[in-house]
Chain A
Amino acid sequence: MTPREVLMRKVAAADFALFDLHLYLDTHAFDRQAMEIFERYRTKAEMLRREYEESYGPISLGTAAGAEWLKDPWPWDTEGSYRNV
């Protein structure tokens, strides 16, 4: 995997743990222990996301526009199939 793919996988993992916990909390809103873990995961996910965005470009639609937002790769592009601007 390229360094970008390695970091993207870390971001994906942190976001996914956060999301599956979020789903659990939809039906277990009373579980305060899980809520505490959620807050910790959220901090970690935000940190990793910022790290990725600094090196490789935006993830959230709101954080960039124009050339920065448009540049390849898009999520369905395979490594090596696009030109690096």
Chain B
Amino acid sequence: MMDSSKSCYPGLNRYDTYDRVSPSHIMTPLPDDATVTMAYVPFQLDTEIYDDMKALEEGTLFPILNKPFLGSGMRR
């Protein structure tokens, strides 16, 4: 079971070079064999990005990861 090229899709080596492959061709958000006794964080598949000045302001390049704190006052 120590195959370092194993991926979620049997027979597909995620490090093969494809012309343009989006993450959703290679990864599922959660593994198909997700089970008890393990913690899972869904893999980021949404690759929309901000422009760089906005990214710096928000603290991330990726809108999908932007989770601001609002608190009880709900102010930014």
Contact = CB atoms under 8 A, between A and B. Distances in A.
Q: Do chains A and B stick together as partners?
A: yes
Interface of A: 9-10, 12-14, 16-17, 20-21, 24, 27-34, 37, 41, 44
Interface in B26-58: 26-27, 43-44, 47, 49-53, 55-56
Interface of B: 14-15, 17-23, 26-27, 43-44, 47, 49-53, 55-56, 60-62
Given A30-B14, A31-B21, A31-B23, A24 B56 contact: no
Given A30-B14, A33-B22, A20 B44 contact: no
Chain A interface helix/strand/loop/mixed: helix
A29 B15 contact: yes
